């Protein structure tokens, strides 16, 4: 295998060009084999194999920096940069990340996971390079979906203004390849980046502009003529107006053409955007036919693409999607919003049934929230389904546009809590902290999939902002009520009474807390269990009741402890002037949580039944020992 000879980018550049196409096929085969076992981002990674090879072959990486946007397409990059031996550990606990990580390789220059950051980061690197007097190139690789976001255009705008020699590679992987990608346009693009044309272009510009009186007008006419030619080839005029030289579109699977283009433009001293057209899932028939399904996929049969294990229980996402349809059938004020994740959030079927009441805003969460606010001021009730980790990108809009105006909008926070193999950029473990202190916001979290549907009904009928956070993955298989009911805002439920201690849990931690209480009961301990339901407003009466009855409380949450649910409960006790209550908060530490299966991470951080049982038992024993010690000290003082 050619791939056996490539353990670094230096090895890659030592290969003859004639072997690169075969190398690309071997890399695709390796990616399919590994991802079929580990799960991961298949279609996007297969689509950029040729592009990745060409970038590392043409540029002097890692001295030259390649900055990947999002980073879920960087599997070929990982294989080519010395991580082939570790590639089978992709996204596994203790293995390599599914995204670029600076501590993994000197070829990874920016940690990513969220979209549209590459241009801004790359421009910052170029500015730093110039300040330090260094001389290397920086290339930002960004997809057509990511470049539509505001952050990307902010970066493009400044790059064009600064006129730094930033290279932006626009990876256009739409399903239908542009008709402009043909022999003529590819030839013209390569021709227009060549040394002769570039030199002629610059000399002509200086010559025309130097002609007195009419020179500037003649140059503008020539420029418009060139732009009109480009207009026939590709939508490049927008980027030219932003200060970039536009090149493309280039066939992203023709390594020879990619190399010629990159070699032509790599010594430009001004910003250039290279438009490359690729096909998601390239080289894998089932991924090519259904790139959305294989964007992020669980393990699958590499021969057929069928999932290795199909869940027998509905996922929370499925329940959300089904409930949205049921609610919308009875309430024509309900509209749904997705930020380029209609399938991921379960709104794909809603979009089919109610096409006029569904809006996909693209990778633009900030716009999506303010867009929802615009709908709400006109009397509709928008439900914006956004992964918890991506909702934080719209924080300013939540504060000023949504909550300040007290609008009737629901945020459906999918993937709240530990998401598993995607790791720290995707764990939804900060939403309680950044939402609960904002006035007018109501926050709820269901204990199971049945309660989720009732919370959604509660949210869409609530005349103010609300957020429903729910976890990734399957529910518990509980019976599903056919009739949806509205819950009383701010009311929890006492699932189990007890006198020795009370566990107050929220969301995904309620079931394991109940299991821990049963085990403790078998050992003679009387443990109350509260399903909080609402993080804000809290059920103060119930919390104070169990705290007063037991004198000891434990809060449990799948969220960061800093500013989280447990903090809210302690604030509740303090506000009520209730002192002397012994407390323990169980949750996630003040650190970024690594990637790994949800079950593994929950076990590590004590959020499964075993962990909760152990921590509660230890807490009770310490409380008893402390009480005994205090009694002994009092008796000693009496003596």
Q: Supply the residues annotated as catalytic.
A: 280, 365, 393
Nearest to 467 by CA among 535, 525, 551: 535
Alpha helices in 337-485 (DSSP H): 348-353, 365-377, 388-391, 395-397, 431-435, 449-460
Strands 272-277 and 245-251 turn out to be parallel
Residues 6+ apart with CB under 8 A from 227: 236, 237, 240
C-alpha to C-alpha distance for 261 and 256, rounded to whole angstroms: 9
C-alpha to C-alpha distance for 233 and 246, rounded to whole angstroms: 11
CB-based burial label for 633 (10 Å; 0-12, 13-18, 19+):
exposed
Max CA distance (Å), the chain:
109
Nearest to 274 by CA among 166, 377, 378: 166
CB-based burial label for 7 (10 Å; 0-12, 13-18, 19+):
middle
Give 229-232 contacts, CB < 8 A, sequence gap 24+: 229/188, 232/180
Nearest to 258 by CA among 440, 24, 417, 41: 24
C-alpha to C-alpha distance for 410 and 98, rounded to whole angstroms: 31
Which helix or strand (DSSP H or E) is residue 154 part of? helix 150-162
- For residue 273, which phi and psi values (nearest 5 degrees)? -115, 120
Distance spanning both ends of the chain, measured CA to CA? 85
Kindly report the length of the chain: 639
- For residue 210, which phi and psi values (nearest 5 degrees)? -85, -10
């Amino acid at each position: 295998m050619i791939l056996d000879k490539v353990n670094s980018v230096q090895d890659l550049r030592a290969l003859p060009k004639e072997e690169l196409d075969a190398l690309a096929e071997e890399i695709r085969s390796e990616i399919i084999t590994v991802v079929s076992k580990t799960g991961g981002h298949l279609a996007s990674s297969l689509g950029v194999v040729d592009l990745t090879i060409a970038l590392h072959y043409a540029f002097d990486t890692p001295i030259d920096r390649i900055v990947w946007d999002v980073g879920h397409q960087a599997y070929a990059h990982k294989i080519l940069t010395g991580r082939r031996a570790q590639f089978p550990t992709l996204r596994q606990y203790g293995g390599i990340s599914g995204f670029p990580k600076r501590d993994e390789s000197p070829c990874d220059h920016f940690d990513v996971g969220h979209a549209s950051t590459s241009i801004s980061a790359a421009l910052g690197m170029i500015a730093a390079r110039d300040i330090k007097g260094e001389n290397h190139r920086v290339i930002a690789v960004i997809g057509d979906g990511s470049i539509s976001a505001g952050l990307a255009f902010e970066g493009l705008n400044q790059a064009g203004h600064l006129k730094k020699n930033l290279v932006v590679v626009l990876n256009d992987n739409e399903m239908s390849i542009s008709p402009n990608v043909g022999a003529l346009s590819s030839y013209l693009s390569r021709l227009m980046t060549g040394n002769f044309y570039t030199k002629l272009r610059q000399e002509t510009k200086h010559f025309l502009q130097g002609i007195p009186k009419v020179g500037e007008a003649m140059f503008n006419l020539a420029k418009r003529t060139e732009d009109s030619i480009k207009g026939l080839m590709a939508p490049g005029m927008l980027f030219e107006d932003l200060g970039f030289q536009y090149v493309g579109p280039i066939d992203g699977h023709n390594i020879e053409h990619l190399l010629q283009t990159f070699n032509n433009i790599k010594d430009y001293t001004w910003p250039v955007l290279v438009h490359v057209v690729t096909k998601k899932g390239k080289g894998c028939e089932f991924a090519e036919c259904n790139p959305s399904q294989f964007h992020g996929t669980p393990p699958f049969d590499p021969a057929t693409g069928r999932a290795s294990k199909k869940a027998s229980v509905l996922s929370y996402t499925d329940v959300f999607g089904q409930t949205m349809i049921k609610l919308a059938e009875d309430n024509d004020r309900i509209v749904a919003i997705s930020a380029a994740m209609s399938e991921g959030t379960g709104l794909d079927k809603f979009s089919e049934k109610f096409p006029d009441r569904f809006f996909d805003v693209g990778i633009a969460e900030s716009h999506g929230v303010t867009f929802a606010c615009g709908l709400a001021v006109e009397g509709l009730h928008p439900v914006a389904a956004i992964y918890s980790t991506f909702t934080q990108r719209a924080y300013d809009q939540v504060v000023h546009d949504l909550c300040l105006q007290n609008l009737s909008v629901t945020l459906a926070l999918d993937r709240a809590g530990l998401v598993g193999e995607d790791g720290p950029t995707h764990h939804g473990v900060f939403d309680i902290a950044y939402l609960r202190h904002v006035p007018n916001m109501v926050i709820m979290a269901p204990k199971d999939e049945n309660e989720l549907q009732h919370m959604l009904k509660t949210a869409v009928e609530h005349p103010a902002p609300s957020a429903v956070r729910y976890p990734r993955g399957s529910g518990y298989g509980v019976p599903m009520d056919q009739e949806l009911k509205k819950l009383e805002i701010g009311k929890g439920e006492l699932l189990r009474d007890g006198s020795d201690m009370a566990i107050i849990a929220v969301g995904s931690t309620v079931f394991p807390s109940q299991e821990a209480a049963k085990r403790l009961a078998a050992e003679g301990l009387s443990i109350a269990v509260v399903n909080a339901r609402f993080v804000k407003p809290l059920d103060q009466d119930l919390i104070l009741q169990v705290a007063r009855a037991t004198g000891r409380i434990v809060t449990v949450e799948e969220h960061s402890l800093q500013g989280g649910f447990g903090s809210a409960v302690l604030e509740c006790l303090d506000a009520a002037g209730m002192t002397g209550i012994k407390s323990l908060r169980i949750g996630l530490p003040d650190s970024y949580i690594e990637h790994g299966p949800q079950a593994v991470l929950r076990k590590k951080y004590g959020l499964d039944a075993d962990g909760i049982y152990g921590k509660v038992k230890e807490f009770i024993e310490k409380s008893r020992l402390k009480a005994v010690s205090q009694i002994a000290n009092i008796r000693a003082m009496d003596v």
